[in-house]
Every structure is written in C-alpha cells, then in structure tokens.
A and B are shown apart, each in its own frame.
Chain A
C-alpha cells in the first residue's frame, strides 16, 4: 500500500488517524457500516431462506382466530374464537401483571432484606446472608420449577382444600378468595375516595410550604391517611355499604366463583420476587454503606433526631446510588418472566411467541412481535426510572 500510494496522501491519512477526534469518527463510521451490512445480510437471508421453503413474510395471520384457549386471562374475556392479536394482548397483560406484581414485591422484600443484612443482630444478618447467597447462585428457572413443584405437590387437591371459614380455600388449584361485587352507590364511594386522595395531595403541598417558610412540621402522613380512610369509610356507611361478596364454592371438579390466585401465577410471582429481591438487597446494602458515616454525625450535630436523619440525610443519598442498578433488576425480573411457559403461565412468550408461532408457522413474524413488545416494556421501565433518578439527583444550588 505504501509503495502504491503517493507519500503525501499516506501522510494525510496517517495524520487523520493520529488525530483523536477524527479517529473516533472513522471508527464510528466503520462500526455503523459493519452493523448495517450484517443486518442487511441477515434480512436478505431471512427472505431468501423463507422463499426457498415457500413462505411469505406477512402479519395477516394476526386477524385469524387463534383457536386455542388461554384460561388465565384476568383482564380480557378471551375465547378460542378470538384472533391471534387478542391472544397476544392477553399474553402481554399477563406478562405485565406478573412483572408489576413482582417488581413491587421484590422491592419491598429487597429493601427489608438489605436493611436486615446491616442489622446488629448477628443471627438475623447471617440468616439473610445465607438466604441471599443460596438464592442468587441457583438459576431462576430452577427456583420457578421448585416453587411450582412445591405448590402443586404439597397443597391438597381441590376436594380436600384447606378451608378458611368456608370463604377462602387453598388447594393445588389455587387460592380462592371471595370477590367483591359492587352494588348501586359504589360509584359514590369511589368518587369520595378520589376526592380524598386529591385533598391529601393538596394538603401535603401546603404543609411542605408551611414547613419551608415557618419550620412548623405537621404529621402529614397520619393526617393524609386519616382523611382518606375516614372520608371513604363514612361514604361507604352513608350509602348503606354497597358491596357484597361472591364466595367461591366447590362445584364438580373445581371451585367456581370468587377470585383465584392460580398456582402458575403464584409460583412465577413468588420465585421471581425472592430471586430478584436478593439482588436488590445487596444493592440496598451497598447504597446505605456508601453514605459516609460523617453524614450521620453531621446531621446529629445539627440536632436532627435519628429517624429524621435516616429519612432526610441517609436515604436520599443512598437512593442516588441504589436507583441505577435497581433499574437493571427491574428489567431482569421482567425479562425472566419469559420463563413462564415452563410451568404453564400464559405470558407473551407462551402465547404469541409459543402457541401462535407453532400453530401458524410464522417464526420470524411472531419473534419480531415478541422482541418488539419486550423492547417497549423495557424502554418504558427505563424511561420511568430515569425520570425518577433525575428527580432525586443532587440539585446544585
């Protein structure tokens, strides 16, 4: 190359390469080109290979009847006559349900365990430590299968269900509890509840301003709770308790009526929760430890009581360290929920990415849909957590 190219030109190229900024631009251009080429080759191969076996790329199948049943569909009244699109929606909602429930529960459990890990009680902190180490080092799929196995094999059959006062029943068909049925007037109670919540929010703002201006501190939490519970309770009594309960009962093979926590949901939810909470616990512990002890001492010196210190000094600083890795745990939990099919929980992978894929033979199309759905869910979680992260960031004054 050097022999063929005129010397000045080589010099110019070399100079360009030695320039740090120019080099990084070149590297980026090359990278983008390589990635684009790979994607293009991939797409080309898909179309050629699909053509070779005579398949066409199309999403028309989405409007055909799915023809399979999904029994666990708490939000949509689905039947096998509905389309693949509706089946997809059922799957997405089931994924979201277990992800949201899992994130809430894992956060609560994780924070608790994280704090307990720092407890001065040797036994408690050791026990939590052992639990965390055991859980973290076993693949999540095994946890899911384990919990499901325990639920299904140790709980009694429906006819021998554990009976809680003839209203709640626990068996390996699920945990059946009475379902609330709103009667006339329930709407009024709902409206009162909403108004109370808004009033509480307004009061909280006001109390904060008063505190900023005068230093007077109101017991905001108790007042808010009192307003919401009190107002709603009064409205409930005033409208004549417009709520009845539908109690589950054993009819034939299974319990009918009421609400049920199905074993598949229960197992997936529990397993994802305790598995993820172990990671969260370590993140929380690290976050708290990272706030230097000097902060506590300084805050004591200013005369703040210990719980105010924790609330106003330690937690806000620890949160800044905790939140970014917490986001990845939320994303992990959501993605791990795709193992649902192993125990028969009908999430988005089991429905559109499983049965629909198989019954229609549209591998590429269904996988694109599943990928797209996970991408959107993950981006939404990230966006929300980024917003939260920004709102608790150091505000330079």
Chain B
C-alpha cells in the first residue's frame, strides 16, 4: 500500500511543498538534517536490500553511503527512500530524496523531459532475457508468442516493445510494479521470460532456489548506462554527486583502497594528494571538508571494493567486471582527472 500511495504523496508534495523548495541548497538541508535521503529500489539482491538486522546493503546503497561519508562524514547517516520503477522520479522531484541511486538508466527523456540531472555512470548495463532451461530456447529470436514479465515504469518495457516490433514478433506483456512481484510471477510460470537489465537478471536469479534451471539468453538488446540522479536547480549539489562517483573510480585507478588510504596520504603522486585533501582546496570548493574523498575511501571503499563486495564474482550475484572495468583494463570506467 505504501508504495502505491507514494506517487499521490509525491504529486501532493509538488502541490503543497513550500514554493521554491526545489531551489534550496540541498547541501545545507542535508547537513542541517544530519541525514542523507537516498531514493533506492524496493529491494534487489546485491544492489539495494536489507539484511537480517534490517540494515540497508548493496551496490547502490554503498554509493549512497559514500555520498553520506563525503557530505556528513558518516556513512551510516542515510535514510533509504524506497521506490518502484514508477515512483522514483516523482519522489526525487518532490523532494522526498536528496539523490537517487537506483539502477536508473540515463536516457534523453529522463534528462530533458523529466528534468533530472545525471552525473555519470556507476554501472554499464544492457537489457537481457532470462528463461527456464527446460523451454529449450537458446536465442531471443525464438521468443515469438511468449509471455514476458516486465516492471512498469522502466526502460525495459520500452526496449521490449521496440525489440519485438522491430523483429516482427508478438508477445504477451505481464506488467508488474516491483521486482519481487515480477519474480513471483516468473517463478510461478505466469511468464516464460523475465526481462530487465542483465545485472538485475543475475541478481534475481541468485535468489532462486534453483538458479541452475534458468539461463540468461546471449542477446543484449539495449544500452543501459545506470547512474545517480538529482533534481534540476542545484548546481553545487550536482557537482558533489558527480565527484563522489568520480572519487570512487579515481581511487581505484590510482590504487587507493580503504586499507591503504592512510599510507597514501604520504604518496608522492600529486593527484592522490589532491584527492585525499592533503594538497589543494578541492573540498572547500565543493563546500565540503578537505577529507571528503578520504572519508569515502576509508569508510566505504573505492569503486572496485564496492563492486566486488556486493555483486562481484565472489558473491552469489557473480558479475564479472566486463564493461565496468577501468579503462586501463579494457573497460569503460574513465573518471575525469582530479585537477
């Protein structure tokens, strides 16, 4: 019920919210509040979920924690604002969240039409298909006439419509609001196919009791650059989120980890010194303390650490770095320099 009402609440928020609140300095709001509100998903293994003790964990949640470490010096000072694919932007635009870290694809219409600010990519993804092995399907081109489970309000449903239309195939769309319910429909056999971002498929499959009975088809039908988003109208806050992401990527590239960050403070690489706030005044230019990036790396870790801990090959999700390797390793991660 809660998530169903949230669009209405969000719309109401737009109506009744204090006029001009969208322009307020988010940084000051967050610091005064002492808590960072992050829009995250309602739950997807490895990316954003609560563990047995009720604590939020996951790849996207760690980036939220990194932001809190930079802004508040405390990765624990976060509040997760859960959102379905459909409610996420309304919640963000209505001011319920300060920043969105929720496997969200950067697209033209979201950037320009929905008026979001995007700040780079924290996961390069693409849409894939998962089917039961016993269907005997080996390619997405064999899916004519299938029933397909999708989540409402995603790029997934648009890509799917385009893909089947372009290939002259028909399908039955079973459109569900949350990942959980979509997964239940898929496992109960209401759908032959579950489709979403390949990372989401791997995460979903990892929660099955019989993951080996499902295969992910080879076709990737779209580009899904996933990244954080904020509202229009607050450039300082946009810069902060952009450079939080860049700091995690640059730290990995420069070999700075949560384990060695203290030693690295006496590195002889000037970029490391600028990153960690030993030299220069990048922190104060952002409106943050000098050790903002140090805090991120010390308290949460660099990009590689966040990746491996939550979704890497040694986790049940088991994702390889692939496109998400550093550019120096043949991947696409390429942070602008700290200069």
A48 & B19 in contact (Cβ 8 Å cutoff): yes
Complex: how many Å from CA A379 to CA B41? 37
Residues of chain A lying within 8 A (CB to CB) of residue B336: none
Let me know if A344 is at the binding interface, CB within 8 A. yes
Complex: how many Å from CA A357 to CA B189? 29
| In the A-B complex, the 3 residue pairs with the closest CB atoms | A361-B114, A358-B153, A80-B161
Complex: how many Å from CA A355 to CA B109? 14
| Interfacial residues of chain B within 111-161, with CB under 8 A of chain A in the complex | 113-115, 135, 143-147, 152-153, 157-158, 160-161
B86 & A354 in contact (Cβ 8 Å cutoff): yes
Binds A, one of B63-71, B170-178, B199-207: B170-178
Kindly provide the distance from the CB of B186 to the nearest chain A CB, expressed in whole angstroms: 10
B20 & A49 in contact (Cβ 8 Å cutoff): yes
Residues of chain B lying within 8 A (CB to CB) of residue A355: 86, 152-153, 157, 175
Complex: how many Å from CA A367 to CA B13? 13
Let me know if B231 is at the binding interface, CB within 8 A. yes
Q: Beyond A80-B161, A81-B165, is A52–B11 a contact (Cβ under 8 Å)? A: no
Q: Beyond A71-B172, A346-B175, is A53–B231 a contact (Cβ under 8 Å)? A: yes
Chain B: which residue is nearest A47 at the CB level?
A: B19
Residues of chain A lying within 8 A (CB to CB) of residue B89: 358, 361
Residues of chain B lying within 8 A (CB to CB) of residue A68: 157-158, 161, 173
Let me know if A247 is at the binding interface, CB within 8 A. no
Q: Beyond A71-B173, A254-B172, A357-B86, is A341–B152 a contact (Cβ under 8 Å)? A: yes
Complex: how many Å from CA A354 to CA B16? 21
Binds A, one of B1-9, B257-265, B291-299, B313-321: B1-9
Kindly provide the distance from the CB of A7 to the nearest chain B CB, expressed in whole angstroms: 43
Kindly provide the distance from the CB of B143 to the nearest chain A CB, expressed in whole angstroms: 8
A49 & B161 in contact (Cβ 8 Å cutoff): no
Let me know if A157 is at the binding interface, CB within 8 A. yes
B158 & A45 in contact (Cβ 8 Å cutoff): no
B7 & A357 in contact (Cβ 8 Å cutoff): yes
| Interfacial residues of chain B within 158-196, with CB under 8 A of chain A in the complex | 158, 160-162, 164-165, 171-177, 181, 184-185, 188-190, 192
Complex: how many Å from CA A263 to CA B185? 11
Kindly provide the distance from the CB of A153 to the nearest chain B CB, expressed in whole angstroms: 5
Let me know if A67 is at the binding interface, CB within 8 A. yes
Complex: how many Å from CA A353 to CA B177? 13
Chain B: which residue is nearest A141 at the CB level?
A: B1
Let me know if B266 is at the binding interface, CB within 8 A. no
B175 & A350 in contact (Cβ 8 Å cutoff): yes
Let me know if B73 is at the binding interface, CB within 8 A. no
B145 & A252 in contact (Cβ 8 Å cutoff): yes
Interface string of A343-370 (1 = CB under 8 A from B): 1101000100111011111011001000
Binding site for B on A (CB under 8 A): 42-46, 48-50, 52-55, 67-71, 79-81, 139, 141, 149, 152-153, 157, 172-173, 251-254, 256, 263-264, 339, 341-344, 346, 350, 353-355, 357-361, 363-364, 367
B157 & A52 in contact (Cβ 8 Å cutoff): no
Let me know if B282 is at the binding interface, CB within 8 A. no
Residues of chain B lying within 8 A (CB to CB) of residue A79: 165
A344 & B4 in contact (Cβ 8 Å cutoff): no
Residues of chain B lying within 8 A (CB to CB) of residue A361: 89, 93, 109-110, 113-115
Complex: how many Å from CA A139 to CA B23? 40
Q: Beyond A344-B175, A358-B152, A359-B153, is A256–B145 a contact (Cβ under 8 Å)? A: yes
Residues of chain B lying within 8 A (CB to CB) of residue A173: 147, 172, 190
Chain B: which residue is nearest A367 at the CB level?
A: B11
Residues of chain B lying within 8 A (CB to CB) of residue A339: 4
Other than the given A173-B172, A355-B152, A364-B11, 17 more pairs (CB < 8 A) read A48-B20, A49-B14, A49-B22, A53-B232, A67-B161, A68-B161, A69-B164, A69-B173, A79-B165, A81-B165, A253-B135, A253-B145, A253-B192, A256-B145, A344-B177, A357-B90, A361-B115
Residues of chain B lying within 8 A (CB to CB) of residue A256: 145
Let me know if B34 is at the binding interface, CB within 8 A. no
Q: How many inter-chain residue pairs (CB < 8 Å) link A and B?
A: 159
B14 & A364 in contact (Cβ 8 Å cutoff): yes
Kindly provide the distance from the CB of B281 to the nearest chain A CB, expressed in whole angstroms: 31
A54 & B109 in contact (Cβ 8 Å cutoff): no
Taking each of B11, B145, B189, B232, which has the highest tally of chain A beta carbons within 10 Å of its own beta carbon?
Answer: B189
Which of A53, A71, A152 has a CB less than 8 Å from the CB of B188?
A152
Q: Beyond A54-B233, A68-B157, is A251–B20 a contact (Cβ under 8 Å)? A: no
Residues of chain B lying within 8 A (CB to CB) of residue A46: 14-15
B16 & A45 in contact (Cβ 8 Å cutoff): yes
A360 & B109 in contact (Cβ 8 Å cutoff): yes
Q: Beyond A54-B115, A363-B93, is A354–B152 a contact (Cβ under 8 Å)? A: yes
Let me know if B97 is at the binding interface, CB within 8 A. no
A and B contact pairs by CB, cutoff 8 A, 21 listed: A45-B15, A49-B20, A52-B21, A52-B232, A53-B22, A53-B231, A54-B115, A69-B160, A69-B173, A149-B188, A173-B172, A251-B145, A252-B146, A253-B145, A254-B145, A264-B174, A341-B152, A354-B153, A357-B90, A358-B89, A363-B93
Q: Beyond A79-B165, A81-B165, A355-B153, is A254–B181 a contact (Cβ under 8 Å)? A: no
Chain B: which residue is nearest A68 at the CB level?
A: B157
Kindly provide the distance from the CB of A373 to the nearest chain B CB, expressed in whole angstroms: 15
Which of B7, B146, B157, B176 has a CB less than 8 Å from the CB of A253?
B146
Let me know if B85 is at the binding interface, CB within 8 A. yes
Residues of chain B lying within 8 A (CB to CB) of residue A70: 173, 175
A172 & B161 in contact (Cβ 8 Å cutoff): no
A172 & B177 in contact (Cβ 8 Å cutoff): no
Complex: how many Å from CA A54 to CA B177? 28
